[in-house]
Amino acid sequence: MQELKAHLLDSYKQLVLALKNKRLTNSLIIGGDVALGSIDLALYFTKLYLCHENGDEPCNKCKSCVLFESASHPDFRVVLASSKEDCDKNLDIVNDIGYVEQAVQDNTTNKVIRIDSIRTINHYLYESAVLAHNKAAIIANAHLMQEGAANSLLKTFEEPPANTLIILQTNAQEKLIPTILSRAYKLNIKKPSYEMCYAFLKSYNIDDSRIVKAIGISGYNPNLALDIINLDNDKLIEQFITNFVLYIINPQSIDKENKCIQLLLDLEPKVRDLFLNEFIVQILKYKVQFSLDNLCLLDEQNVKVLYKIKKDKLFKAYSYINENLLDDSQLLLKLQETRLRELLHLFKEVV
């Protein structure tokens, strides 16, 4: 696996210190978006925990480190949210880190962490370690545990086997049951600084203008910013803004309305929500005299029209986005389209 990204180093050091000082219990919750690297941190720290050398980094040479990288470590498992078909193919519990990194990024719609998966992992954790060292299990997207699964895990949390680490990785800690929350050591990944995001994206030889926009839209989330650029979502957003300005000038134009909707539908749902929020907020900021230098989505040209949108319309749109659109990846396309059209109609007769 790759080295940890710069913004994860402080969190990693905190975990290493807790481990060395024996403050780390047998259970750990790592909170933070997958795009922020929460699963990368969970995997990297697990590799260290299993490593036979006693360093601050995995040694990459011992038997454990080698097996960890080759998807054949006998004392390491990851539980994934799964569909019925995944389960039939034994893809609910794996030890292939490449597969894990891919699976947790993929859409988890209609997938849950099953009670049977947790029961299997409970048994596994109580068996003695094959390599006669530590054992570890990661439960990825732990907030997708069904109630039965969470209760089943609780027993292992209450009487944890020695030399065992259970890591729950989640971007929604509030969805975990309180009895689990209260028993674990908790670490929340902090968002990286602008400079860290910039340095990370610059290492991919990306143009400054794209970097600035992608960082702004992603909310300082370097991996997501990179996705935005790789998927050309920043270019779609640029086209959307151009067409939105034309729509504001002539809101009766059904052509412009349809073009705007299509461009929004072409965006990744997560990017779309973040962008729409940020776009409205930046127009509001401009109206209260923020400098254009700090508003990555606006420029001398488009603000000539955008600044005319009344504040109450912008606030209405902001509320609409947060009540109706956030996390709408599970919505049917038709319904997404209807909602986006309703949002655009809020801007009719605004100028």
Length of the chain: 351
Candidates 27-35, 55-63, 99-107, 174-182; binding stretch for Zn ion (CB under 5 A): 55-63
Candidates 48-56, 97-105, 214-222, 226-234; binding stretch for Zn ion (CB under 5 A): 48-56
CB 316 within 8 A of CB 273: no
Q: Choose between 50 and 167: whose C-beta lies nearer to Zn ion.
A: 50
Question: Which residues, numbered 169-228, are part of the site for Zn ion (CB under 5 A)?
Answer: none
Q: Choose between 54 and 289: whose C-beta lies nearer to Zn ion.
A: 54
Using the rule CB under 5 A, is 48 a contact of Zn ion? no
Backbone angles phi, psi at 203, to 5 degrees: -65, -10
- CA proximity to 245, closest of 309, 313, 289: 309
Q: Distance from CA of residue 288 to its chain's centroid?
A: 32
Q: Choose between 95 and 243: whose C-beta lies nearer to Zn ion.
A: 95
Candidates 46-54, 98-106, 208-216, 257-265; binding stretch for Zn ion (CB under 5 A): 46-54
Size of the site for Zn ion (CB under 5 A): 4
- CA proximity to 49, closest of 18, 94, 71: 18
Sheet containing strand 76-79, edge to edge, reads: 93-94, 76-79, 135-139, 164-170, 27-31, 185-188
Site string for Zn ion, 62-81 (x = CB under 5 A): x--x----------------
Candidate residues 4, 59, 112, 246; the one interacting with Zn ion per rule CB under 5 A: 59
- CA proximity to 110, closest of 133, 87, 128: 87
Q: Choose between 65 and 314: whose C-beta lies nearer to Zn ion.
A: 65
Q: At what angle are helices 208-218 and 222-230 packed, to 10 degrees?
A: 120
Candidate residues 42, 43, 51, 145; the one interacting with Zn ion per rule CB under 5 A: 51
| Chain residues that interact with Zn ion, rule: CB under 5 A | 51, 59, 62, 65
